[in-house]
Amino acid sequence: MASKKKILNKVKILLTQTFDDPEKAFKFFDKDEDGSLTKKELKKLLKTAGVGGFISGVAAKQMIKGLDKSKDKKLDWTEFKKAVDSLLKGDS
């Protein structure tokens, strides 16, 4: 199984090499435009970053579990931005 560090590194590469800023990435993956990322939308982000099928589902679930401060089982922009800022600083 891919390690957390490897998964986060793939996400970091995706965010820094494909998008100009985190907000553009958030809006790109927020397919239903409801202002939050569901497990399905996070799974798509992870797959785009090169994280495999089953692993992307497990990782998406863990991301929501660890980052969803509002406990609505989604990541809103504030939660996503905080996580990305930490990732880009290397605090993962």
Measured distance CA(49)–CA(9) in Å, rounded: 9
pLDDT tens sequence across 35-50: 999 999 999 999 999 9
The one-letter amino acid at 61: K
Measured distance CA(56)–CA(2) in Å, rounded: 10
User: CATH number of 4-89: 1.10.238.10, 3.40.50.720, 3.50.4.10, 1.10.10.10?
Assistant: 1.10.238.10
Q: Does the pLDDT at position 4 exceed 60?
A: yes
Chain mean position to CA 34: 16
Q: Does the pLDDT at position 60 exceed 80?
A: yes
The DSSP call for residue 73 is S
pLDDT tens sequence across 9-36: 999 999 999 999 999 999 999 999 999 9
For residues 31 and 41, the answer to whether their CB atoms sit within 8 Å is yes
| pLDDT for 1 | 54
Measured distance CA(42)–CA(40) in Å, rounded: 5
Q: How far from each other are the two terminal CA atoms of the chain, in whole angstroms?
A: 18
Domain ranges of the chain: 4-89
| pLDDT for 90 | 79
